[in-house]
Structure 1
Amino acid sequence: MVKPKKHLGQHFLKDQKIARKIVDALSSDNQGRPILEIGPGTGVLTQYLIELYGSSLVLIDIDSESIVYLKEHFPQLKDRIIEGDFLTKDLSARMGEKYSIIGNFPYNISSQIFFKILEEKDHVVEVVCMLQREVARRLVSPPGSKEYGILSVLLQAYYDMQYLFTVEASVFQPPPKVKSGVIRLKRNNVKHLSCDEVLFKKVVKQGFQNRRKTLRNALKPLNLSDQIKAMPILDKRAEMLTVQEFVELTNELAAGGGNSTI
């Protein structure tokens, strides 16, 4: 049996009903589309994914002990079990043009996983995942809430997001110290934002660096022009802005608001 490893943030789900519920949260239009499971561990989700997606399923896990276990218990997957780090692997050739992701994400790298998904946003059409409940709520939170942050804005720019349900700590081995949440991301119709997307990311990140400050103060490192400084929107804090307002602010900066040195 695979032993959960603390340094990998492993907490193995042991409730079969919840495992099935997570798998069923994938949209029905995924039939025929490649599915990537991140961190399958002992295969509690894998067993149900095989039933639905068969040869379309690919697994990736960084834990060599889990890889051995998975190959022994799911021999039908053969060469579709990848040992490696999702954060550093280039899976484009293996997964194809469009694919979906599912997994019980390790708490300690869940944010990094989402930044990688953003890099692959033109290929990743859907994500169903379980992660720390507070993080899950933060990602799907709307503008104006204290949880709304950098990843909330960046992900909601390209994905429609939904918090699905909460999972108690007692259904894991070992049980984590916090509850978990399951969320779903579905790619929206925005292929490209109507602004400089590199500058957009800088504006969002800088805006939330000092989230208690108004944007007029938080964005000082971007060398704002006097014209931009006078804009009423800069009286707000970053957490108050919608994705579209960040896009509009980015366009104003690009048109004559100054240059970023960060």
Structure 2
Amino acid sequence: MEDRRLYSPKMVRDILEKHNFKLSKSLGQNFLIDGNIVRSIVEKGGITEKDFILEIGPGIGTLTEELSIKAKYVVGIELDEALLPILKETLRERKNVEIIHGDILKIDLEELFHKEFKGESIKIVANLPYYITTPIIGRLLEEELNIQGIIVMIQKEVARRMIAKTNSKDYSALSIFVQYYTDPEIILNVPRSVFLPKPKVDSSVIRLNLKNQKMKVENKEIFFKVVRSAFNQRRKTIQNSLSSKELNISKEKIKEILTLCNIDPQKRAENLTAEDFAKISSLFPPI
């Protein structure tokens, strides 16, 4: 029955009241209270009975419950210790769920994957606090773990930046970073009205499908430093934005590199493709 599910607004309020739980603004806690949204995340995320799921920030278990109904096994990592007794109660009948107290940015993910998933390829599902979205996604992608994909609810504006293409105002260093590792797609837009409490912005659910074969770059560290430097001063020409203290290279050398790459020095970062940045960075001296 709908009113017995954790996404029922009455159920959420009753649980919070019963446990005298105070929502933490510092942890960005906003709980889903809409069954259609919860079911859509799982359905459009392509979760099946064969899937092993790592959920980041299960909260009171609203999405966890739906994931456990559809997936084979779900491990949730929850930072807020005060939520652990609530999760123990709300998910007590879900035998394929394990909740771990920890910080996703500090926990040894390789060890966790080995212990909980025994080498199985997994899917990450998360409703992330806006302030920590980029560090978490960055860690998951950079460590190149045994992950099939990431299904994450984030601020709508950030989702647009992740999928943005060249020559658009949303195109950024984040676009190139995410698209280097994944093929991103927005699968659902989520209004602020379906959360308790209601946040100030709307959200989107984005699916990051990890690439089997990434774009070739000579040096990944230099590549991303060049990209960041270019977008840090995105209104400047590419020649000027790359002549920064961070990269420690002269404007004359930058012009020489751009000429060799057949790239107009008067273009801006938003006009260049990831492949353009790969060419540029391949000619950079060690930074």
TM-score in same-fold range (> 0.5): yes
Q: Which residue identity does 1:238 align to in structure 2?
A: A
User: CA deviation digits over 1:200-233, x for unaligned, max 9?
Assistant: 1111111111011111111113215252154534
Check 1:113–1:77 CA distance in 2 against 1; reply closer, same or farther (3 A cut).
farther
Tell me how far 1:53 sits from its aligned partner: 1.5
Give the equivalent residue in structure 2 for 1:150.
173
Would you say the 8 A contact 1:144–1:240 is kept in 2? yes
Per the TM alignment, residue 178 of structure 1 is displaced from its structure 2 partner at its CA by: 0.9
Alignment match, 2:23: 4
Contact 2:53 2:71 in 1 (8 A): yes
Q: Report what 2:237 is aligned to.
A: 214
Structure 1 unaligned segments of length 5 or more: list them.
none
The Cα of 1:121 is off from its aligned counterpart by 3.1
Describe the shift of the 1:61–1:234 C-alpha distance in structure 2 as closer, same or farther (beyond 3 A): farther
- Counterpart contact for 1:146–1:239, Cα < 8 Å: yes
Q: Identical aligned pairs, as a percentage?
A: 37
What is the TM-score of this pair, normalised by structure 1? 0.89
Aligned residues: CA RMSD:
2.0
The answer for the alignment partner of 2:279 in structure 1 is 248
Match of 1:42 in 2: 60
Deviation of residue 189 (structure 1)? 2.1
Distance (Å, rounded) in 1 between the aligned partners of 2:97 and 2:181: 32
Contact 1:159 1:188 in 2 (8 A): yes
State the SS of the aligned residue for 1:220: coil
Amino acid at match of 2:23: P
Q: Does 1:169 align with 2:186?
A: no
**8 Å CA contact retained: 1:4, 1:12:** no
Shift of 1:122: 4.0
* Aligned-partner SS, 1:234: coil
Q: Answer yes or no: is the 8 Å Cα contact 2:45–2:187 preserved in 1.
A: no
> What one-letter code is carried by the residue in structure 2 that aligns with 1:145?
S
Q: Is 1:238 equivalent to 2:269 in the alignment? A: yes
State whether structure 2 residue 45 is matched by structure 1 residue 23: no
2:91, 2:97 within 8 Å by CA — same for their partners in 1? no
Deviates more, 1:146-155 or 1:96-105: 96-105
Contact 1:71–1:78 (8 Å) recurs in 2: no
- 1:99 corresponding residue in structure 2: 122
Q: Take 2:159 and 2:198, find their aligned partners in 1: how far apart are those partners?
A: 18
After superposition, the C-alpha distances for 1:70-116 in whole angstroms (9 at most, x for unaligned) are 11221345882111111111121222453211111111111111111
Are the counterparts in 2 of residues 60 and 85 from structure 1 also a CA contact under 8 Å?
A: yes
> Deviation above 6 Å: which 4+ runs of structure 1?
none
Match of 1:183 among 181, 195, 206: 206
SS state of the match for residue 144, structure 2? coil
1:72 to 75, 89, 100: 89
Q: How many residues align?
A: 254
TM-score, length basis structure 2: 0.82
Q: Which has the larger radius of gyration?
A: 2
CA deviation digits over 1:177-207, x for unaligned, max 9? 1111111110112257332111111111111
- Give the AA of the match of 1:3: K
Q: Is the 8 A contact 1:129 1:184 kept in 2?
A: yes
Distance 1:135 1:191, change over 3 A: closer
Q: Which has the higher helix share?
A: 1
Conserved 8 A contact 2:80-2:101: yes
- State the match for 1:137 in structure 2: 160
